[in-house]
Structures are given as C-alpha cells and as structure tokens.
Amino acid sequence: MIEWYSEELRITAFLCKEQNIEIRKWWTSFVKNLPIVEAILRNQNIYQLEGLYGNKKLILRATLSLDRIDWLLVNADELILDSKKNIKSIEEIPEKLSLEYEKTHFPRMPKFNEEQIALIDLIKKWTNLDTFPSCYRLALGANLFFPVKTRQEGYIILAQLLPNVKIDIENSENFLYQINRPKPSNTCRSLKINKISRWIVATHSAVAINVENNMITQNAENPIFSCSLNLDISTSQENRDEISKEYIPSIYEEMLGIAKEVALEGDK
C-alpha cells in the first residue's frame, strides 16, 4: 500500500452574493493562535491570514470580492530523498522504503492519513459557526506525493494505479495523466461531484543559496523523483443555487472520502 505524503490540503467555498462576512472573526473563533501574517495581495485580489493550527501551518484566503474562501493546511518542508535501493514492483515498496524514510527528511513531512484528521477538525469547526456563509459550490483539494529513486520506479507505481493507461516505463519522460470522473453526490442527489485527478512523476533539483555572493545554484546532476497526485474534488459549477447548510459538513466529508479512495485505489 502506498503511504502518500501531504504537501497541501484545501477546502473551498464559493459564496453567494451580498453577504456580510468578517474573515478575521472566523480565525479567532476557533484558531487558538493569532495570525502571524495578515496581508492584502492586490495583484492576486486576495486577503490572507497565516498562522499555526496545532502544529500545522494554516492559511485562510479570501478574494477581495468575497466570492471565494479557501482554508489550506500547508507543509513547506523541502523535498529531500536519499534512498539506496531500486524498486522492481509495487509490492516491494513498503518493505524497501520503510527504513530509507528514516534517513531522509520525509518523516518531517505529514502523511496524508494523518493530515485528514486535522482537515476534518477544521471542517467541523468552520461549518458549525453561526457565521458560516451561504454558498453554492464546495471544493476539496489535495497535493500528494510519494518518493521514489528513479523515474522508472515512479512509472511502475503509476502503472499499477492507472490500470487503463499503458505506460512505456523504460522509454517515457514527461508523463502526465489527468481525468475527471464525475458522479452524483451521495449526500445530496441533486448535486454532481467532479473527481479530477492529475498524475505525474515529478523531478526535483537541489538548490544551494550562497548569501555572501547572492547566488542561487541548482544541482541538476542528482535529481530527486516523486510520484505526484493532485486532486480537485468539487461540486459542479453548473449549480448556482444555495446549498443547504445542513448538507455542507457531510458533502465535505464525502469529498474527502473520494480523495482517499482515489489515492488508495487509483483511477479505476
């Protein structure tokens, strides 16, 4: 079984118009710490708060037009890998990489199954507020990765997770597969849920910064590879009617369940 690492998790609400919303009060309502960063990014039309949520980094982002709200659980650790062994098949992954994780910085990176707990807590606290806004569309996003030593190892894993896609493991580069498999919501049958997944083997290069010479150098000779899965689960943008607030927590949890299923079982 692949144990994905979480780079970023996101919940999003697209708001109905003409609402009186006080973004900062949401933060102070259930985040125990004051925001460390408060900024207006006018070039992006965004108001943003950043701070700690337990031992996580939390971002609250709102468009200045107040038509979209994002909560993000973000990890900023660098991707560093020092694995020693080649993987020949997906069955070898847990055994061969378990010890190698201890030699890398990956133990500092949160695992997807651990971050889900914090995300569910965030969903419940926000949606239980009396000031939770009226919205017509919901979304949940996840940027996940799994470290591998070579590009070919990454393709071996993706071939198992994408059984309907033929991958030339030895002779391919720059592979990217994206698909949407929409389905009716189990929570609210009148809503359609989009299941967009994007699969690649990402290449990372180490970067060295020389403060004295103001130089940044990139080491392309020893690239680091990872399987990368980007998930965007959302209710259909075709719906413009307000979603009943009683359904919203369950819809978010349904979308998280879909993300878990795709991460675990692949595109099937």
Which residue do the tokens 């971002």 mark?
59
Q: What are the two backbone dihedrals, phi and then psi, of residue 144, each rounded to the nearest 5 degrees?
A: -120, 155
Secondary structure (3-state) at 92 = helix
The CA–CA distances, whole Å, from 161 to 1, 177, 242 equal 11, 11, 36
Residue (of 145, 126, 129) closest to 252 by Cα position: 126
Residue (of 3, 1, 34) closest to 147 by Cα position: 3
Band of residue 87 on the pLDDT scale cut at 50, 70, 90 = very low
**Calpha distance 104→48 (Å, rounded):** 32
Band of residue 79 on the pLDDT scale cut at 50, 70, 90 = very low
pLDDT of 93 over the 60 cut:
no
Per DSSP, helices labelled H in 13-150 are 23-30, 93-101, 112-127
Tens digit of each residue's pLDDT (9 = 90 or more) over 242-253: 999 999 999 999
**Calpha distance 218→167 (Å, rounded):** 29
- 49: β partners: 38, 60
Write down the pLDDT at residue 205.
62
Per DSSP, helices labelled H in 109-247 are 112-127, 151-161
pLDDT of 65 over the 50 cut:
yes
Tens digit of each residue's pLDDT (9 = 90 or more) over 99-147: 343 334 344 678 898 899 999 999 999 999 999 999 999 999 999 999 9
Q: Choose the most confident range, by mean pLDDT, from 7-11, 90-94, 107-111.
A: 7-11
pLDDT of 78 over the 80 cut:
no
Q: Given CA atoms 51, 125, 7, 235 in this order, what sign does their dihedral have?
A: negative
**In the numeric block, which tokens belong to residue 133?**
């806004």
Neighbours of 196 (CB within 10 A): 17
**Calpha distance 91→54 (Å, rounded):** 35
Band of residue 21 on the pLDDT scale cut at 50, 70, 90 = confident
Percent of the residues in the chain that have a pLDDT greater than 90, as a whole number: 58
The CA–CA distances, whole Å, from 183 to 85, 136, 230, 235 equal 40, 18, 18, 10
**Calpha distance 93→106 (Å, rounded):** 15
The CA–CA distances, whole Å, from 131 to 22, 106, 154, 208, 243 equal 9, 38, 45, 46, 15
Percent of the residues in the chain that have a pLDDT greater than 70, as a whole number: 80
Secondary structure (3-state) at 29 = helix
Write down the pLDDT at residue 84.
33
**In the numeric block, which tokens belong to residue 13?**
């609400």
pLDDT of 15 over the 50 cut:
yes
pLDDT of 239 over the 70 cut:
yes
Q: What are the two backbone dihedrals, phi and then psi, of residue 209, each rounded to the nearest 5 degrees?
A: -115, 120
Residue (of 107, 93, 89, 110) closest to 1 by Cα position: 93
49 or 42, which is more confident:
49
Write down the pLDDT at residue 201.
94
